[in-house]
Amino acid sequence: MRVGVVLREREPMSIATYRARVVAGLGEQGVAVCDVPAAQRGTPDVDLLWDPGLGMRRVAPVIARASLPLAVTVHGLLGFVLSDQEAGDGGFDVARRLVQRMRIRASWRSIRGRVGAVITPSAYGAREVQEVLGIDASRVHAIHHGVDHETFRPLGARDVPSRPYFVVVAQHQPKKNVERILAAHAALPAEGRPALVAVVPGLPATVNPHDGVELRRAAASPSELAALFRGALALVLPSLHETFGMPLLEAMACGCPVLTSNTTACPEVVGDAGLVVDPRDVVAIRDAMVRLATDAGLRARLHDHAVARAASFTWERCASGHAAVLAGVAAAHAGTGVAR
């Protein structure tokens, strides 16, 4: 089986990492892969096409043009399930987002009947695809991401702060709920209040921290994040929407307890390794932070659960799942007798 992997010119780092990890795993399992530029006009010399970077993007031209078996990965459809304000970038344009949704639906209509499989990173993401795009459940496959266990592990360097701290790791997007996290931290009892280290790339300079908050507006390296997670009381990330939530898994792999949302894919990823709350309830977030700050026994239990749960999330297992799905698509297409 020879798989053509659609390559877009500008991929978000998270999708680029996912793509590289799965492609490496497919190669280790003997699956031949090659890059196919998204804008390619001719039909690639492959058995099937896989686009690892769909979601709130239009279908790549090469997929629209090529009469080949198709598999695609959808990383999330938050523009269809959150309000424009919560899904936007702070300067949302209702008309622009309406046009975006219309174009994405039209783009999907052109290939819906030809897509052999849609891969999502979670069961929640699979339900989203079925409900928003109208794809039959038999063609939608939830395959969890893996985590780099060499970097994100319980043992290793850790931050040694002057006082206990919570950590937040998130891009500056409304769905990450950073403003409510800051509000919840500000509402903690002043006496003995832990610090909050907020790694939020893209956070505007107009956002000023209150006492006890260390804002880091630049991205941190994986090793820096791992050290932060190992030293923290907990990761606080009650997102409004996640179809997976990689920082949750990375923190768990380091043994860091997690405080996250009770909606979308967050409970699915975290399981019994953290506390879940209503992400729109600042008081609930604050109260959970108080529990984590004051209950050492709770933190110890969550540490053990986090390490155990994270151990089952591997890129090898993820790649194996992809190989099985892609082989199924190729076999189904061959069974139809349709010639390439």
Q: 81-139, pLDDT tens digit by residue?
A: 888 777 765 555 677 778 888 888 888 888 888 899 999 999 999 999 999 999 999 99
Residue 336 has what pLDDT? 58
Tell whether 195 and 297 lie within a shared domain. Answer: yes
Q: Are strands 165-169 and 195-199 parallel, antiparallel or unpaired?
A: parallel
Residue 194 has what pLDDT? 97
Tell whether 221 and 245 lie within a shared domain. Answer: yes
Stretches where the chain sits below pLDDT 50 are: 337-340
Domain assignment present for residue 67? The answer is yes
Tally the domains of the chain: 2
Tell whether 188 and 227 lie within a shared domain. Answer: yes
DSSP 103-143: HHHHHHHTTTTTEEEEEESSHHHHHHHHHHH---GGGEEE-
- Over the stretch 281-309, which tens digit does the pLDDT of each residue have? 999 999 999 999 999 999 999 999 999 99
pTM of the model: 0.92
Which domain CATH number covers 51? 3.40.50.2000
Q: What is the Cα–Cα distance from 253 to 312, expressed in whole angstroms?
A: 10
Residue 103 has what pLDDT? 86
Domain assignment present for residue 156? The answer is no
E strand or H helix that includes residue 290: helix 282-294
**What residue numbers bound the domain in which 260 lies?**
165-310
Contact 258, 273 (CB under 8 A): yes
Residue 101 has what pLDDT? 86
Tell whether 277 and 320 lie within a shared domain. Answer: no
Q: What is the Cα–Cα distance from 81 to 184, expressed in whole angstroms?
A: 25
Domain assignment present for residue 275? The answer is yes
Domain assignment present for residue 49? The answer is yes
Tell whether 138 and 177 lie within a shared domain. Answer: no
DSSP 263-281: STTHHHHHTTSEEEE-TT-
Side by side, the strands of the sheet bearing 213-216 are 213-216, 195-199, 165-169, 235-237, 258-261, 274-277
Which amino acid type is present at position 231? G
Tell whether 83 and 122 lie within a shared domain. Answer: yes
Domain assignment present for residue 157? The answer is no
Tell whether 139 and 6 lie within a shared domain. Answer: yes
Direct distance between the N- and C-terminal alpha carbons of the chain, in angstroms, rounded to an integer: 13
Tell whether 298 and 220 lie within a shared domain. Answer: yes
Tell whether 195 and 115 lie within a shared domain. Answer: no
Tell whether 88 and 201 lie within a shared domain. Answer: no
